[in-house]
Amino acid sequence: MSAEYRVGVIGLGGRGMGHIHGILTERDDTIVTAVCDVYEDRMQKAVDYCKEKKGWDVAAVPCYRQLIERDDVDVVFVFSAWENHVPAAVYAMECGKQVGIEVGGAYSLDDCWKLVDTYEKTRIHCMMLENCCYDRNEMMVMRMVREGVFGKVVHCEGGYQHDLRSEIAFGEENRHYRLRNYQNRNCENYPTHELGPIAKILDINRGNRMVSLSSMASGAFGLNDFAEKNEKVNPALKTYRFAQGDIVKTNIRCANGELITLTLDTTLPRNYSRNFTVRGTNGYFSEVCNAVYMEHVHGEWDHKFYNNVKEYREQYEHPVWHKFETEGIKGGHGGMDWLVFDAFFEALKNGEVPPIDTYDTAAWMAITPLSEISILNNGAPQDIPDFTRGMWTHRPEWDKNHGFYALDK
Amino acid sequence: MSAEYRVGVIGLGGRGMGHIHGILTERDDTIVTAVCDVYEDRMQKAVDYCKEKKGWDVAAVPCYRQLIERDDVDVVFVFSAWENHVPAAVYAMECGKQVGIEVGGAYSLDDCWKLVDTYEKTRIHCMMLENCCYDRNEMMVMRMVREGVFGKVVHCEGGYQHDLRSEIAFGEENRHYRLRNYQNRNCENYPTHELGPIAKILDINRGNRMVSLSSMASGAFGLNDFAEKNEKVNPALKTYRFAQGDIVKTNIRCANGELITLTLDTTLPRNYSRNFTVRGTNGYFSEVCNAVYMEHVHGEWDHKFYNNVKEYREQYEHPVWHKFETEGIKGGHGGMDWLVFDAFFEALKNGEVPPIDTYDTAAWMAITPLSEISILNNGAPQDIPDFTRGMWTHRPEWDKNHGFYALDK
C-alpha cells in the first residue's frame, strides 16, 4: 500500500465528509494529511474519523491558503461553499498543487478567466469533479453518440431537478451556503450536473463551443410556501423575498447549430431527475422515459418503448462501466463519485490532461454568472466567452490523451 | 331538425374536410351552404360529399371574400393555410358573420391587432378553435388548478412535438403550406396546442397576462437528413437550406410571476407528445409521465407514481368530459374537435362571449411573430402586447359568462 498522493481537503460539510468516507480513505494511493473548514467541530470530526478508520494523523488547518501551502499536501480537493471554489483552486495551482473542485457555478466571468489564466501560467489543470459525466446512462449515451446511433445530434436537454426546500430552508441550522445564495441571487446556480455530460457529447471546447445563452426565471414561491407549511422552519422565511426563482430555463446556442436547454428546479415538490435528453436525426435518449426511441423501430403513437434502456445496455454499455461492474461498483451516488475521482488520479498518474480540464471547468461554470445577467435583463442574450482563445477549432487534434476515462472519444 | 346555422367553410385540405366529415355534417343545427379552396378538385370533393351524405346543395366559391359575403352564410370557418386565417377572419367580422378559425400562429403583430380592432368595432368575436383546450387531461388539470390541488402554479410547459417530416417533405405533392413556411421562416410556428390550455390555466387576459418572451432555435438538420434517407422525396431537399430550426424553445414570463416554456419539435424522429406539464407549490401534473405527483404522497426517489392519472380521474374529471363520456364521445382527435365546435355553437346560441375570445386568439397567435424576431436577434426578449388594453386587470369581474364550456372558472 503506497500512498502516492497526500491530499488536503477544503470543506467538510456533507459532501466533503462523504468523499473522505467513501473514496479518499478507501483508495490505496491516497492519504489525507490536512483538512480545512470554517467550523472547528467539522475539522475535529474529520480528524477523528481519519484517525479511527486509517490511523492517519491529519492536521486541522482553519485557513485554506495555509492548507494549500503545506509541504505534506500534493493534491487539493475543494469541497467547500461555492464562493470559495475558484479562490482555492487558483491558489492551489499557483502553489504548484494538483487540484480538483466540486461542482457549482462561478460568481463572475472574471473568476472563470482566472482559472484559465492560471492554468496557462502554471500548466496545472483545475478539474471539476463532475460526477454525472461518469454516470451509467450518460456514458452509454455518449458511446451511442460517438458510434452515430442517433445521427446528427441537434438538441440536448437536462436539468438539476431536485427538491431541496428542506436543505435550503434549514440552511441556518445546517450551515448550508445554499440559503444565502437563494436569498440573494437569481440564476442557473448549478448547471454542471446536466451540462457536463451534454458538453462532452457535443464536443464543447474540442471542435464545438457554446456561443450564447438566454435565461428566464419564474418567480420565487416554493420556499415561502414551504415555510408556511412547516412549523419548524424559521417563520421569517414565510414572507422573505427570495431572489432565486423556483424554475430557471436557459437556452444555449452552440457553434455547430445545436441547442442546449438547461433547467434549475429545486424549490418545488418533485421527484429527482436530471431529465437527460439527447435528440438526433435518427432518434433519441430520454432519461424521464428511461427509453431509447429509434426511427422505424418505435411507433409515434404508442408508448411501448418506455423503459427499454435495458435492451440497449449490453450493446452500448461504456467500457468504463463494463469494467466497473465486473470489478464491483464502489462509492456514493451509484458509483459515479468513485469514477470521477479515479479519472482524476488516473490522469495524474499518467501525466495526462484530465478528462475535464480547466477550459471545460471555466466554460461550464460561466453559465451561472451569464444566466444571472440574462435574467436581470429579462432574458437578454449573453455571449459565452471562448475560454480556449480559438483553440477549440483544432483541439481535437492535439489533445486526445485522456486515457481510459476519456470523455471526448 | 332545424338547421340554425348556415356555414361557409374556407379551406378544404385534410383538416377542413375532416371537420366537414366529423362535425358539420353530424350536427343537427348546422348546414354547410358554401365551400372555398384555391384548388378546384378539393371544392368538388366537398360539394359531392355534402350532397351524398346530407343532400345539401353546396356552392363552390373560389374567392373567400365572395363566400363570406353570401346571404346564405351566417357562420364562417377558416381552415385554410395559416397565411389566410387573419384576412378571412377580419373580413368575416366586418361583414357581420360569426367566425371560428383553425389553430396556427400569426405573421405579424399588426395582424393580431387587426383582430382586436375589428372585434372592438363590430363586437363579433373571432374564436380560435383550439381543440387541445378541450382535451381530457387538460380539462381535468384545469379543474385541479381551480380547486387548488397544485397550490400556486409556478411553471407550465408544453410542446407541439410531432414528427411532421413526411408531411413537410412531401409538401409539394400534398399541396401543404407547411413546406413553404419551413423553407422561409424560423419561429415557434404552432404555439397554441400547448399554450391554449396553459393560458387558460394561468388566467391569461383575465387577471394575468404574458409580458415578454425569448426564443432560441437549433439549426435545421432533420429535413435534409429525411430527404437523404428517402428516395421518394424531392432530391433538392437534401441540401435545401431550410430556415426553420428543428427545435424551438420559447420562454414566456407572466405578470403574476409564472414562467411558461414552449417547444416546437416537428422535424426529428419522435413519438407524439404535447408534454403538458403544470408545476405548483403542492405538486405537479406531467403528460409525459402520465402522472400526478403530490407532496407527501409520492416519493422523491422512485417512479412508482408514473401512470397514476387514472387514480385522479374520478375525483377531478371535468364536467364537460363527464357529460361527453356519458353521452358518447364524438368527433376526431379523441373527441376534443367535437367539443371545441360545440363550445363555439353553444356560445353563439346563448349570446355569450366565446370561451376563447378575440383577445385570447390575438395573444396566442402573437407568440409566432415575436418568436421569429427573437430568434433573428439571438434570443433577444420581446415585449408581448397587452391586447386587452389594460382590461386584463379586471376582466374576471365583467366577463365570466362562458356557460358550460367555460375555460376560465
**Residue of chain B whose alpha carbon sits nearest to that of A377:** B381
> Which residue of A161, A165, A216 to mutate against B (max B Cβ within 10 Å)?
A216
Last residue in a domain, options B101, B131, B161: B131
Measured between beta carbons, the chain B residues lying within 8 angstroms of A246 are 154-155, 279
The phi, psi pair for B242, rounded to 5°, reads -65, 140
What pLDDT, on a 0 to 100 scale, did the predictor assign at position A398? 55
Q: Is the pLDDT of residue B409 over 80?
A: no
Q: Are residues B196 and B314 in the same domain?
A: yes
- Helix, strand, coil percentages (3-state) for chain A, rounded to 5, are 45, 20, 40
Do A256 and A150 reside in the same domain of the chain?
yes
CB contact under 8 A, B268 and A279: yes
Mean pLDDT of A62-86: 98
- Judge if A87 and A234 occupy the same domain: no
Do A167 and A201 fall into the same domain? yes
Question: Mean pLDDT over residues A160-167, rounded?
Answer: 98
Q: What percent of chain B has pLDDT over 70?
A: 97
Going by pLDDT thresholds of 50, 70 and 90, the confidence category of residue A325 is confident
* CATH number of the domain within which B262 lies: 3.30.360.10
pLDDT of A227 above 50? yes
CB contacts of B225 in chain A (<8 Å) are 151-152, 281-282
Q: What is the pLDDT of residue B401?
A: 57
The pLDDT score that the predictor gives to residue A1 is 44
Average pLDDT over residues B238-260: 98
Q: Let me know whether A118 and A141 are in one domain.
A: no
> How many folded domains does chain B comprise?
2
CATH of the domain at A78: 3.40.50.720
Same domain, A82 and A214: no
CA–CA distance, A44 with A24 (Å, rounded to integer): 17
Residues B212, B150 share a domain: yes
Residue A381 has its nearest CB partner, among B155, B294, B380, at B380
Amino acid, res. A239: T
Contacts of A299 in chain B (CB under 8 A): 271
Q: What is the structure's pLDDT at B45?
A: 98
B47 and B149 co-located in one domain = no
The Cα of B258 is separated from the nearest Cα of chain A by a number of Å equal to 5
Same domain, A285 and A312: yes
By percentage, how much of chain A surpasses pLDDT 70?
Answer: 97
pLDDT tens digit sequence for B98-120: 999 999 999 999 999 999 999 99
Mean pLDDT of chain A: 95
- C-alpha grid cell, residue B300: 422523491
Q: Tens of pLDDT along A243-254?
A: 999 999 999 999
Pairing relation of β-strands A247-254 and A259-265?
A: antiparallel
Residues A167 and A19 in one domain: no
The reported pLDDT for the residue numbered B306 is 95
Q: Considering the domain boundaries, does residue B96 fall inside one?
A: yes
Domain contains B336: no
pLDDT tens readout for residues A9-62: 999 999 999 999 999 999 999 999 999 999 999 999 999 999 999 999 999 999
Residues B230-243 pLDDT 10s: 999 999 999 999 99
Mean pLDDT (whole number) for B299-318: 94
The contacts of residue B283 (CB under 8 Å, 6+ apart) are: A269, B149, B150, B151, B292, B293, B294, B295, B297, B298
Percent of chain A at pLDDT exceeding 90: 91
Q: Looking at beta carbons, which residues of chain A come within 8 Å of B290?
A: 303
d(CA B42, CA B48): 10
Q: Which residues contact A171 (CB under 8 A, 6 or more apart)?
A: A177, A178, A179, A180, A182
Considering the domain architecture, whether residues B12 and B145 belong to the same structural domain is answered as no
Of B65, B99, B131, the position where a domain reaches its end is B131
Which tens digits make up the pLDDT trace of B316-348? 999 999 998 888 888 777 899 999 999 999 999
For residue B70, what pLDDT band results from cuts at 50, 70 and 90? very high
pLDDT of residue B397: 56
**Model confidence at A409: pLDDT above 70:** no
In a domain, B59, yes or no: yes
Q: How confident is the model at residue A401, as a pLDDT?
A: 58
Dump pLDDT digits (tens) for B344-388: 999 999 999 999 999 999 999 999 999 999 999 999 999 999 999
CB pairs A-B closer than 8 Å: 171
Give yes or no for residue B402 having a pLDDT over 70.
no
In a domain, A195, yes or no: yes
DSSP state of A352: P
Instruction: For residues A119 and A155, state if they share a domain.
Output: no
Q: What is the full DSSP assignment across B140-197?
A: HHHHHHHTTTT-SEEEEEEEEE---HHHHHTHHHHT-THHHHHHH--S----HHHHHH
Instruction: For residues A121-138, give the mean pLDDT.
Output: 97
pLDDT one-digit tens code per residue, A77-101? 999 999 999 999 999 999 999 999 9
pLDDT interval class at A407 (50, 70, 90): confident
Where among A131, A163, A183 does a domain terminate? A131
Residue with cell 442557473: A188
* Averaged pLDDT of chain B: 95
B1 pLDDT band, cuts 50/70/90, is: very low
Pair B198, B140: CB distance under 8 Å: no
Instruction: Please answer yes or no on whether A271 and B302 come within 8 Å at the CB atom.
Output: yes
Tell me, what's the pLDDT at A302? 82
- pLDDT higher than 90, residue A404: no
For range B297-317, the mean pLDDT = 94
Identify the domain containing residue B175 by its residue range.
132-320+357-400
Residue B152 lies in a domain: yes
